[in-house]
Amino acid sequence: MPFINEILKYDSLSIVGLEKNVGKTECLNYILNRLPLQHIKVAVTSIGIDGENKDQVTATKKPEIYLRQGIYFSTAESHYRERRLISELIEITNERSSLGRIVTAQVAIGGKAIISGPSSGLSLRRWVAGIKKMGIDLTIIDGAISRLSSASPAISKAMILSTGAALSSNIATLVQKTKFVAEMIALPRLDDASRDTLCDIESGVWGVDTEGNIVDFKITSALAINSVKSDITQGMKIIYTVGALTDRLLNIVADSKRIKEITLVVKDFTKIFVSETAYRIFCSRGGKIEVLQKSKLIAVCVNPTAPNGYVLDSDTLCRKLREAIKLPVYDIVKNNYDI
Amino acid sequence: MTFKSALDIDCGIRYMYDTLCIMSPCGRKMLLESKMMTTKDDIDNYYGRLRDVYDKDCSKIANKLMCIKDIHNTLCRLSDAIVLDDIELYEVKYLAIITSEVDVLLQQLQLTAIELPSLQAVVDILDPDHTHIPSFYIYDSYSPQLQEVRKQLRAIQIEGKDLSDEMRQEVAQLMQRNADLELQIRERLTLQLQPYASKLQQALDNLSLLDILIAKATQMHELQLTFPHITQDNYTLYNNMFNPAVKAHLAHQGRDFMPVSIGIEQEPVTIIGANMGGKSVVIKSLALNQLLAQYGFGVAADSCHINPVEEVALCIGDEQSITKGVSSFAGEIMAIDAVLSKVRSGKKILALIDEPARTTNPIEGTALVEGLLSVIEEVKGRWILTTHYNIKNDNVKRYKVKGLHDGIMDYTLVPTHSGDVPHEAIAIAENLGIDTQWIEYTKSKLNN
């Protein structure tokens, strides 16, 4: 499979499922089984799971991950005690989750374990920084759409999206929803002299006027945009929100007469919380969104089977998705890439 | 009193804690739980250790101490011979390795403030392959049977991922056998390690103490603190005393802190002076430095003589509590009363009272302060008060803030015999640029 080689070009990868039961774990297992561990050091963790071993929604057991000899992994100490492999404990980190301290170990003889790592974006970032010091070449994070921060380019440079019938049993809807996320990930990186200055700003909503001056709108976040009485688009070429980009801010720019001259900028795609409808209207009027840091979407993995038993046609799904997002799409289970 | 409760005393001690760079959680815990030292011997002994650390570059040791985990619970389990799991054995091994590494550094620096027990035997037990790295698992070399089981497991895994059902079953059995053998080994290791439990605890405690000492010594260099001279007589002397929290705050505004010198041969002492003359800062700095000395920190003065007490009581008149239904006056008087009854019961207290009875009318207020000073004459104890009232008592040693000179405040304290308080309130108000009409009316009232 070609995307393993693609992964090796990056030092950090996150795998994000757009819904539960879209085959994210199969995807992770698939990758872990194929990485050339004789050449590179790999560490894996997940953005913490919330304390229970069973998935409370579908009553299925939380998936275990097969870890080969040589892989480094970080998990909560209670899950470490339950591991079904032989491993050497390397470090007890200072990170904690609801299941105890996060420990890092290296697999001596392969087997299965539950991976539940740091539970916030910030602690995940510290984990990445800490583990890099051990000479790790590639960090892999098992992410979750509800905690998209794990896919932020500040934490992982490349990502794989996992989608499937669990998200929607209608191929058209499934393709549309997945395409929207892929589109957000593919937003272009801002190319402007003000980029470095904007990167250093820590909060609020800011503008860059046509002469290149940075303007503070004195708004704490896009959520407080209603408190602004004046037209913030006046004289601006860039409007930058450090935090979340909401429909409200998007609509303000969309309604402006100067929409075509303005670029709306966010830190990275994980900060975008706009509905597809609002985004489409914004684009149709000539609006554009750019990011300060860009992620690389390597591939999309699909699981055509929904938890309720509904099965989509794998080939059609893959083909339609591929056409829509112009990226490699794989059904790992169907093609029996043994897991 | 523990250091944790002393942090609530509003004299700038929290700033000292906040600027103290303790590396390990167990060092921090030990400091917070530490009791105030009250005898000269204890304090001198402690400063002897601190001085040893103060003169040396301990940055390498500090880096090591950063990695220490608080494994007190694990060590309790070990001393009860409860079988330790992999994570706990790792913790023990890690502590033993760090201890020997720090010990080597201590010897290089010829630092004798702390003695660490030798834990080589523990390292030997938990590092059978002599890798000298602090990672841990139940190594193959612990038992030939284990070695054999793992050899078979590895062989199956190498054969490939497509395992037949039989093979899968075999793997499951081998894993079970592996787990059983590991448990036996952990039991054996726990028994081997149990005799070292108290030495391990001692090492953890001494490393925590070393962490605290290094942090205090570093703070002394950073904030230009000194070692106090601990006395047994009732003579207190501060040469250029300052308050680091206030100093940092002023520095932030681009202003300098003016240090104050004071020598106290006998109590009680009253400090009089203009508003904004730094009387409250003197009171707070006296409390701060007394606490610093008795908790083994560097003190904030060029030099000082300090006489240890059993308790430092600081009353700065903010005892008002709306929820308790107590007015500021009642709160203050009750707080002073509590100190008084402790002194009566024979407790050695340094009582620092900022403007007692300030919130009531000046006639009764003056009488209350004079009355307090008369009681003090009978119950003795070490009392330092600031006041704006004209106090007539003659059993009192008085200090006065020099006050305004050409519109500039001179914070120097000078001994004075007169109880007459300076009349500088209006001049200071003018300096602050308040409403001119108000000032004019006030002046005309005074002249009438």
- How high is the ipTM of this complex? 0.79
Lowest mean pLDDT among A201-205, A223-227, B105-109, B328-332: A223-227
Bigger pLDDT: B192 vs A313 = B192
Chain A with chain B: Cβ pairs closer than 8 A = 43
Q: Do A86 and B137 touch (CB under 8 A)?
A: yes
**Residue A54: pLDDT above 60?**
no
- Residue A92: which of B90, B154, B178 has the nearest Cβ? B90
Place of tokens 């093609």: A335
Q: To 5 degrees, how large is the angle CA B411–CA B404–CA B386? A: 50
Q: Do B87 and A92 touch (CB under 8 A)?
A: yes
DSSP 3-state assignment of A287? coil
Bigger pLDDT: A38 vs B223 = B223
Domain boundaries, chain A: 3-186+296-330, 195-291
Domains and CATH numbers, chain B: 3-213 (1.10.1420.10), 226-447 (3.40.50.300)
Which positions in chain A touch B157 (Cβ < 8 Å)? 69, 109-110
What whole-number distance in Å separates Cα of residue B350 and Cα of residue B384? 8
Q: Do B162 and A338 touch (CB under 8 A)?
A: yes
Amino acid A51: pLDDT = 41
- Residue A81: which of B85, B136, B178 has the nearest Cβ? B85
Amino acid A168: pLDDT = 87
Could you tell me the CA-to-CA distances from A60 to A20, A307, B66 in Å, in that order?
Answer: 11, 10, 41
Which positions in chain A touch B69 (Cβ < 8 Å)? 92
Segments in chain B below pLDDT 70: 159-162, 318-326, 419
Q: Do B135 and A81 touch (CB under 8 A)?
A: no
Check if the beta carbon of residue B291 is closer than 8 Å to that of residue B9: yes
Q: Do A89 and B136 touch (CB under 8 A)?
A: yes
What whole-number distance in Å separates Cα of residue B298 and Cα of residue B310? 19
Mean pLDDT over residues A33-52, rounded?
A: 80
In angstroms, what separates the C-alpha of A206 from chain B's closest C-alpha? 29
Amino acid A335: pLDDT = 65
**Long-range pairs for B41-45 at CB < 8 Å and ≥24 separation?**
B43/B230, B43/B293, B43/B294, B43/B296, B43/B308, B44/B230
Amino acid A1: pLDDT = 57
Residue from A67, A88, A95, A131 to probe the interface with B (highest B Cβ count within 10 Å)? A88
Amino acid B379: pLDDT = 84
- Residue B157: which of A80, A92, A110 has the nearest Cβ? A110
Q: What is the mean pLDDT of chain A?
A: 86
Confidence of residue A147 (pLDDT cuts 50, 70, 90): low
Bigger pLDDT: A13 vs B157 = A13
Q: Tell me, what amino acid is at B257?
A: F
Mean pLDDT over residues A52-64, rounded?
A: 57
Amino acid A188: pLDDT = 93
In angstroms, what separates the C-alpha of B179 from chain A's closest C-alpha? 9
DSSP character at residue B183: H
Confidence of residue A49 (pLDDT cuts 50, 70, 90): low
> From B171, which residue of chain A is nearest by alpha-carbon distance?
A111
Q: Tell me, what amino acid is at B403?
A: G
Distance of alpha carbon A246 from its chain centroid, rounded? 18
> From B154, which residue of chain A is nearest by alpha-carbon distance?
A109
The architecture that CATH gives domain A195-291 is 3-Layer(aba) Sandwich (3.40)
In angstroms, what separates the C-alpha of A66 from chain B's closest C-alpha? 11
- Residue B87: which of A89, A110, A111 has the nearest Cβ? A89
Residue from A109, A131, A133 to probe the interface with B (highest B Cβ count within 10 Å)? A109
The answer, for B158 touching chain A at a CB cutoff of 8 Å, is no
What whole-number distance in Å separates Cα of residue B82 and Cα of residue A32? 37
Which positions in chain B touch A109 (Cβ < 8 Å)? 150, 153-154, 157
Where does chain A show beta strands of DSSP type E? 12-17, 42-46, 65-67, 72-76, 84-97, 100-113, 138-142, 158-164, 205-209, 214-219, 236-241, 263-266, 288-291, 296-303, 329-330
The architecture that CATH gives domain A3-186+296-330 is 3-Layer(aba) Sandwich (3.40)
**Residue A145: pLDDT above 70?**
no
DSSP 3-state assignment of A39? coil
- Residue A84: which of B87, B94, B175 has the nearest Cβ? B175
In angstroms, what separates the C-alpha of B124 from chain A's closest C-alpha? 17
- Residue B154: which of A90, A92, A109 has the nearest Cβ? A109
- Residue A88: which of B91, B137, B162 has the nearest Cβ? B137
The answer, for B137 touching chain A at a CB cutoff of 8 Å, is yes
Which positions in chain B touch A110 (Cβ < 8 Å)? 157
Q: Do A88 and B69 touch (CB under 8 A)?
A: no
The answer, for B153 touching chain A at a CB cutoff of 8 Å, is yes
Beta-carbon neighbour count of residue A3 at 10 Å?
Answer: 19
- Residue B87: which of A80, A84, A108 has the nearest Cβ? A80
Amino acid B192: pLDDT = 96
Q: Do A111 and B90 touch (CB under 8 A)?
A: no
3-state SS of chain B? Answer: CEHHHHCCCCCCHHHHHHCCCCCCHHHHHHHHHCECCCCHHHHHHHHHHHHHHHCCCCHHHHHHHCCCCCCHHHHHHHHCCCCCCHHHHHHHHHHHHHHHHHHHHHHHHCCCCCCCCCCHHHHHHHCCCCCCCCCECCCHHHCHHHHHHHHHHHHHHHHCCCCCHHHHHHHHHHHHHHHHHHHHHHHHHHHHHHHHHHHHHHHHHHHHHHHHHHHHHHHHHHHCCECCEECCCCCEEEEEECCHHHHHHHHHCCCCCCCEEEEECCCCEEEECCCCCCHHHHHHHHHHHHHHHHCCCCECCCEEEECCCCEEEEECCCCCECCCCECHHHHHHHHHHHHHHHHHCCCCEEEEEECCCCCCCHHHHHHHHHHHHHHHHHHCCEEEEEECCCCCCCCCEEEEEEEEECCEEEEEEEEECCCCCCCCHHHHHHHCCCCHHHHHHHHHHHHC
Q: Do A338 and B178 touch (CB under 8 A)?
A: no
**Residue A53: pLDDT above 60?**
no
Interface of B with A in 207-246 (CB under 8 A): none
Q: Do B135 and A84 touch (CB under 8 A)?
A: no
